[in-house]
Structure 1
Amino acid sequence: MNRWRAMSVALVAGFMTLLDVSIVNVALPSIRSGLHLSSGELQWVLSGYALTFGLLLVPAGRFGDAHGRRNAFIAGLAAFTLSSAAAGVATGPTWLIAARLAQGAAAGVVNPQVSGLIQQLFDPPERGRPFGLLGATIGISTAVGPLLGGLLIQAFGAADGWRWIFYINVPIGAVAIALAARWLPGRPAEARERESLDPVGVSLLGVGVVLLLLPLVQERSWPGHGKWLLALAAVVVLAGFVLWERRFGRRATSVIDLSLFRVRSYALGALVGLFYFGGFTSIFFTFTLLLQNGLHYTALLAGLATTPFALGSAAASAIGGRAVNRYGRPLVVTGLILVVAGLAATVAALHFVPGTGAGWATAVPLLVAGLGSGLVISPNQALTLSEVPVRRAGSAGAVLQTGQRIGTAIGIAAVGSMFFNQLAYNGGSWDLAFRASLWVTIAFVVVALIAAITDVLWPVVNPDPAGTNRG
C-alpha cells in the first residue's frame, strides 16, 4: 500500500470540501437573481454549509477512530458528491438550502478522516510534510475559491454559471471514491473498538454547537438581541457536555478526550486556529462584497484580486511544512506577524488608492498576508496534533477543525456586522466600510499571535512524553 497515494486522494477530497466554504461568495449575486432568493435565504446558502459542517466533525472523527477511517471517508465523500449534484440542479431556494446543508454535513464526515489518516500512516518525525500539505490544502482551498468561482461563472455565463461551482465536484468526487476504495487502508475487524460511541456526549455537543453557531450565521437575518440568548444556552449545554465527558471518560472512551487540552501544544494551537480562522476567512467575504457590490467588478475580476493571497499562501505552505520540525512555534509567530503587516498595509493601500484601482493597490499587501498565512496554517496544524495519540487522531483533528469553523462563523459575524454598520453610517461608502471591518479582522489575528507567543515563551516541562505520539 502506497501511503502517498492514500494521502493524495484524501487531500483532493479535503480540498474539494473546503473549497465550497469560499467558492460560493462570488456566485451569490448570480444565485440570488437566478433563483430569486431573499437575503435570509442567501445567508443560509452561505452559512448553512458551515453550520452542518461544524456539527458533524467531532462525531464523525470519533466514529472513524473507533470503526475505521476508510468507510467513513468513502461514505462522506459519496454523500458530498450526490448533494453537490443536487445543489447544481436546484430549482428553488428550499431545494438549494437543503442541498447545501447536506453538503456541509458530508464535508464534516470527510475532513476529520484526513488528519486521522496522516497520524495513522506516518510516524511522528515524518508528519511535517503531510501536515504541511494538509495546511496548504486548507489555506489554498479557501483563498482560491473566489477565483475558481469567478472563472466558472465567466465560462458558463452569469445566469447558470453558478451551477457549475457545484457540478465540478461530481466527476472529481466519483474518481476520488473509486481511488479511496482502492488506496485507503482498511481497519481489521479485531482492531475496531467495541465500546459505545458516547451518544449522550455526541448529542450534547451537537446541540451546543448548533446553539452557538445559529445566532452567528443568522446575525444579519434575525433582528434584535434576543438571538444571543441561544449563545448563552450554548454555554450551559456545553458545560453539561464537559461534565458528562468527565464522568463518561472514567469508564469508557469519550467522544472528546478532554485531557488533550492539558497538552500545551494542542490547547494553544487550537486557540490559534480558532482566532486565526476568525480573521482569515472573513477577508474574502468582505473583500468580495467591496469589489463586486461596491466597485462593480465582475466575478472573475473579483476572484483575480484575491489571487495574490492564494499564491503567497501556496508558496509559504510548502516552505512551512518542511521547516516546522526545525523552527516549531516561532514559525507560526513569524507568519502571524506577516499577516498583520500585510492586512495593515492593505488598509493603507486602500486609503491612498480608493476606487476601482483597489484590486491592483492591494496586490502586494495581500501577497505578504498570504505568505504569512502559509506559515500559520500548515505549521500550526502539525504542531497542534504532534502529541496526539494515533487512536484519537480523528476526533482530535475534528475538534481542531470544529474550532476553526466556529472561529469562521464568529469572524464573519463580527467583521460583517462592522462592515454593514459602517456602510450605513458612512452613507454607502464601501471603501470606508471595508477598511473599518479590516481592523476587526486584524484584531482576531493579533489574538492568535498572542496565543502563539505564549506557547513560545511558556517553559517546556515535558515536550515529548513517552507514548503520546504512538497511541
Structure 2
Amino acid sequence: MSTTGVASAGTPIDSPAPYRWRWAALFVILAAEVMDLLDAVVTNIAGPSMRADLGGGASTLQWLAAAYTLSMAVGLVTGGRLGDIHGRRTMFLVGAAGFTLGSLLCAVSVSPGMLIGARVVQGLFGAVMLPQGLGMIKEMFPPKESQKAFGLFGPVMGLSAVCGPILAGWLVDADYFGTGWRMIFLINLPLGAAAILGAVRYLPRGRSESKPRLDIPGMILVSLAALLIIFPLVQGREYDWPVWTFLMMGASVLVFVAFALYESRRSKAGQDPLVVPSLFRKRGFSGGMVLGLVFFSAMQGFMLVFNLYTQIGLGYSPLKAGLVMVPWSGGMIVGFGIAQGVAKFGRTVLQGGTLVMALGVFGVWLTLDMTGSGVGPWQLLPSLLVTGIGMGLLMAPFFDIVLASVEQHETGSASGTMTAIQQLGGAFGVAVLGTVFFGLVGGGIATAVDHRSDHLREQLTAAHVAPEAQDRIVAGLRTCASDRATAKDPAATPASCARLEKETRSAVTSPEAGARIPAALQDTASSAFRSGFGSVMQTLLWVVDGMLALTFLLAFLLPRHARPEESAGH
C-alpha cells in the first residue's frame, strides 16, 4: 500500500525512447494500486460484520488487518527483486492473478482461520504485483513525463482513501445477493481481470540487464523476525500473556540481529543482499525507518480502533462508519495539495504536518470529552478533517526526504525497505493499539457501570428490590457487561450474564417489577457500553498523540530537504 512516494525519487536521468503504450500501461498499474489500497482499509469497516458471521475472538479483528500488512511487508522486500530476475511484466501478471485468487478465497471463507489465511495470500501476491508497476513507470516514461505519471498516484490514493470505507460500508449494508461482507472481496474479481487483460495488452516486455540472485535465507530470517513480534502482540491478551509470548518477542530481537549480520556478511562476500547494509550507516535513512515505523503504527492503529469504536461502541452501521471517515480521507487530499505548494520548506512541512495531525487527534479527544456517548458524525467532522490534513502534509514529502541521503545505486533497495517498513509499521500498530484497546475496554465498561450504579439502585428500589439483591444485581451487571464486551465469541452468552439473569428473576416480586427491572438493566448496560468504549478511545487518543510527538522529534534526524543534490543542479 502507498508505495508510490518512493519511486519518484528513483527516476533515472537518462531514459530510453518513450514506450508507445505508456499511458495505457499507467492506468493498468493504477488499477492494481487501487485494488491494494481498497483491500488495505475495507476490513477496518467490515471487520465487525465478518466476526459476527464467522465467529472468532477480538484478535480476529486485528489479524484481518495485520495478516495483510505483515505478509505484504515481508513480500515487498523481495517483490522488486523477483521482477529483476524474471521480468517485471511476468511478475506483475503473477501478482495480479494471485491477488485476484486471494480475493476469491476471502469471499468464500467459512472460518476466521481461512479468511486470515486468504488475507496472507492477498498480501504476498500484492507485494509481488506493486513493485513491478512502479519499476515499469520509471522505465517507460521520459524524465519530463515521469513526474506527471507519478503525480496521478496522489489523486488515486486520495480517492481510494475516500471511497474505500464508503464502498465497504455500502456493500456490507446493501447485502447484494445475500453476500454481505463477501462482496467487498468479490468486487476485486472484475478489477483483477481488467488488470490482467490490460497487462497482457499494454505492459512492456523485457528484463533488467542485471539479475541479482534472490536472497532466500535473508527473506526467511526477516519473515520469522516479523512474525515473532506480531503474533504474540495480537494473541497474547487472549491467552492472558503466558511466558511464551515474551520469549517470542525476545527471540524476534535476536532474529533481527541475525538478519543484519547475515546481510552484512553477504554484502562483503560480493553477493546480492536483500537489504543493502550501507543504507543503515546513513543517519537520515535509519532515522526515516524508525520514524516511518512509529508514524505508520500510529496511523493504522488509530484507524482500526476508531472504526471499532464507531461500530461496536456507538452502534454505527458499516456504511455510517465509512462515511464518518470521509473528512479524514478528504483532509488527506487537501494536505497533499498544500504540501505541493510549500514543498520548498522540506522537513519543516513534514514536522508541521505532524503537529497539525496531533492537533486533530486532540480535537477528537476534546469532542468525545465534551459530547460523551451521544457524539455524532457531524461533531467529529472538524477534528477528523484537521487530522487528515496533517497526515497528508506529513506523508507527501516523507519518502523523498528520507531518500535524500541515499546513493543512486542504493535507491532500489532503499525503496523496497521503506515500503516494507510502512507495511510492517501498519501491522505493528494494529497489533499494539488493538491489543491495548481490547485490554482496556472491559475495565472501562465496568467503571462506567459503577458510575451509573446509584441511578440503577434508585430504579431497583422503585421496583421493590431488596438492598441485598440490589448489591448482587449491580455487581452481576458490572461483570456481565465487561465479559460481554471482551467475549471471544460475540454470539455466546457469558456465564456471568446467565447468572445475572437468574439473579434478576429471583428478585422479581410482581409483574410490574418483572418489566421494570430488565428495562433498567438494559438502559444502564447500553449507556455504560457507549461510555466505556468512549473512555477507552480517549485513552488511545493520548497514546496516538504521544506517538506523533515522537514522530516530530525523530524528524530532526532527517535531511532538511528532499534530493538537495538535484536541486543544486538546476
Which residue is 2:204 aligned to? 185
Q: For residues 49 and 366 of structure 1, what CA distance do their matches in structure 2 show?
A: 25
Amino acid at match of 1:87: C
Which residue is 1:196 aligned to? 213
Say whether residues 1:162 and 2:265 are aligned partners.
no
Amino acid at match of 1:214: F
Amino acid at match of 1:406: L
Q: Paired residue for 1:311, among 314, 320, 330?
A: 330
Cα contact 1:342–1:367 (8 A) shared by 2: yes
**Shift of residue 363 of structure 1?**
0.5
Cα contact 1:26–1:149 (8 A) shared by 2: yes
Greater shift after overlay, 436-445 or 24-33? 24-33
Q: Paired residue for 1:92, among 105, 111, 123?
A: 111
Cα contact 1:132–1:382 (8 A) shared by 2: no
Say whether residues 1:443 and 2:546 are aligned partners.
yes
Q: For residues 10 and 391 of structure 1, what CA distance do their matches in structure 2 show?
A: 24
**Shift of residue 146 of structure 1?**
2.6
Deviations 1:283-328 (A, max 9, x none): 221111111111111111111111100111123224435653x332
Say whether residues 1:279 and 2:298 are aligned partners.
yes
Cα contact 1:150–1:301 (8 A) shared by 2: yes
Pair 29,416 (structure 1): closer, same or farther in 2 beyond 3 Å: closer
**Shift of residue 113 of structure 1?**
3.0
Q: For residues 141 and 19 of structure 1, what CA distance do their matches in structure 2 show?
A: 6
Pair 18,320 (structure 1): closer, same or farther in 2 beyond 3 Å: same
Q: For residues 102 and 372 of structure 2, what CA distance do their matches in structure 1 show?
A: 41
Deviations 1:252-306 (A, max 9, x none): 2211112223344433333332211111112221111111111111111111111
Structure 1, unpaired ranges of 5+ = 467-471
**Shift of residue 133 of structure 1?**
4.6
Pair 457,99 (structure 1): closer, same or farther in 2 beyond 3 Å: closer
Cα contact 2:85–2:213 (8 A) shared by 1: no
**Shift of residue 125 of structure 1?**
8.3
Cα contact 2:84–2:207 (8 A) shared by 1: no
Pair 439,333 (structure 1): closer, same or farther in 2 beyond 3 Å: same
Q: For residues 551 and 146 of structure 2, what CA distance do their matches in structure 1 show?
A: 23
Cα contact 2:327–2:385 (8 A) shared by 1: yes
Cα contact 2:364–2:384 (8 A) shared by 1: yes
Q: Paired residue for 1:292, among 300, 307, 311?
A: 311
Q: Paired residue for 2:368, among 350, 359, 369?
A: 350
Amino acid at match of 2:557: T
Which residue is 2:191 aligned to? 172
Q: Paired residue for 1:31, among 50, 61, 86?
A: 50
Say whether residues 1:421 and 2:439 are aligned partners.
yes
Q: For residues 260 and 164 of structure 2, what CA distance do their matches in structure 1 show?
A: 36
Say whether residues 1:455 and 2:473 are aligned partners.
no
Give SS of 1:185's match. coil
Which residue is 2:41 aligned to? 22
Amino acid at match of 2:189: V
Q: How does 1:3-402 map to 2 (within 5 A)?
A: 3-121=22-140, 133-134=152-153, 141=160, 144-156=163-175, 160-188=179-207, 191-193=209-211, 195-226=212-243, 227-250=245-268, 251-321=270-340, 324=343, 326-385=344-403, 388=406, 393-402=411-420
Which residue is 1:431 aligned to? 534
Amino acid at match of 1:464: E
Deviations 1:202-259 (A, max 9, x none): 2222222222222233344443153132121111111111111111112122111122
Cα contact 1:132–1:378 (8 A) shared by 2: no
Structure 2, unpaired ranges of 5+ = 1-18, 447-528
Q: For residues 109 and 49 of structure 1, what CA distance do their matches in structure 2 show?
A: 13
**Shift of residue 117 of structure 1?**
4.0
Give SS of 2:273's match. coil
Q: For residues 148 and 108 of structure 1, what CA distance do their matches in structure 2 show?
A: 23
Which residue is 2:520 aligned to? none
State the superposition RMSD in angstroms. Answer: 2.9
What is the TM-score when the length of structure 2 is the normalising length?
0.74
Q: For residues 104 and 415 of structure 1, what CA distance do their matches in structure 2 show?
A: 21
Cα contact 2:292–2:421 (8 A) shared by 1: yes
Pair 144,73 (structure 1): closer, same or farther in 2 beyond 3 Å: same
Paired positions, count: 461
Give SS of 1:224's match. coil
Cα contact 2:168–2:319 (8 A) shared by 1: yes
Pair 464,456 (structure 1): closer, same or farther in 2 beyond 3 Å: closer
Pair 440,424 (structure 1): closer, same or farther in 2 beyond 3 Å: same
Amino acid at match of 1:12: A
Amino acid at match of 1:354: G
Deviations 1:19-74 (A, max 9, x none): 21221122123222323344454543333222322221111122224443222222
Pair 397,201 (structure 1): closer, same or farther in 2 beyond 3 Å: same
Cα contact 1:154–1:300 (8 A) shared by 2: yes
Q: For residues 180 and 386 of structure 1, what CA distance do their matches in structure 2 show?
A: 32
Q: For residues 365 and 63 of structure 1, what CA distance do their matches in structure 2 show?
A: 43
Amino acid at match of 1:422: L
